[in-house]
Amino acid sequence: MKKDLKFFWTLFISTFTLSAFTFGGGYVIVPLMRKKFVETLGWIDEEEMLDLIAIAQSAPGPIAVNSSIIIGYRLAGIPGALVTTFGTVLPPMVILSAISQFYTAFRDNVVVSLVLKGMGIGVAAVIVDVVYTMAKGVVKTKDALWIIVMCVALVVSLFTSVNVVFVILACGVIGAINVIAQDKKTGKGGKAA
């Protein structure tokens, strides 16, 4: 595949259209990206795509953005990553900037504010549903460590004003210590045997 202007244009327009017409966040856009780059364009093979998505998910930030960065990088290095990122970010940036211009007038409209009030109830239900599913996933690991971490983090974020960044950092450190501890255990087991 030749890395000419046409190639970069295809890269840009693919991520741009995916981003502009995908509602519902990372878990919707990632399968569509797979379809585009694996099936339609045939630029990445199935198995490597799974690896790329796994990496995109282990990094912080929006999954849609992370996935487009790593796909761009895989196909055309840093220039590729910049092109795909730009393509992914441009649609939401333009749309939300436009909405913010008439948002205040929009929201001061009585009917709209009533609809927004009703939708706020729906949003709360959606988030509670998501949390229930995610918490069930943690409980299902049957690993006391993660269940305790989850409960402690919840208590801390509900009842103290500790910045959430510190909660996340602490959880990451616990994860790292856990890996080191496991390595030590298996290391010792190896010596004994």
Partner 1 sequence: MILLQLLWAFVQVGAFSFGGGYAALPLIEEQVVKANHWLTAQEFTDIITISQMTPGPIAINSASFVGIRMGGIPGTLVATFGCILPSLIIVLLLSYFFFKYRNLRMVQGIVKGLRPGVVALIAASGYGLMATALWGDGPFRFAALDWFAVALFAAALVVLRKWKPNPIYVMVACGVVGALFYGLV
The verdict on 102 binding partner 1 (CB under 8 A) reads no
The nearest distance, CB 185 to partner 1, in angstroms, is: 13
Give residue 112's identity as a one-letter amino acid code.
Answer: V
Q: Given candidates 1, 176, 185, 188, which one binds partner 1 under the rule CB under 8 A?
A: 176
Phi/psi for 191 (5° steps) reads -70, -40
C-beta neighbour count of 73 within 10 angstroms: 17
Q: Please return the burial class of 40, using the count of CB atoms within 10 Å of its CB with bins 0-12, 13-18 and 19+.
A: exposed
Our CB check for partner 1 shows the closer of 1 and 154 to be 154
The verdict on 50 binding partner 1 (CB under 8 A) reads no
The verdict on 73 binding partner 1 (CB under 8 A) reads yes
The nearest distance, CB 99 to partner 1, in angstroms, is: 6
The runs of H, that is alpha helices, within the chain are 5-20, 26-34, 46-58, 63-108, 110-140, 144-159, 164-192
The verdict on 117 binding partner 1 (CB under 8 A) reads yes
The verdict on 53 binding partner 1 (CB under 8 A) reads no
Rule CB under 8 A: which of 24-43 touch partner 1?
A: 24-27
Rule CB under 8 A: which of 127-156 touch partner 1?
A: 127-132, 134-135, 137-138, 146-147, 149-154, 156
Task: Please answer whether residues 22 and 4 qualify as being in contact, where contact means their C-beta atoms are separated by less than 8 angstroms.
Answer: no
The verdict on 163 binding partner 1 (CB under 8 A) reads yes
Phi/psi for 140 (5° steps) reads -65, -20
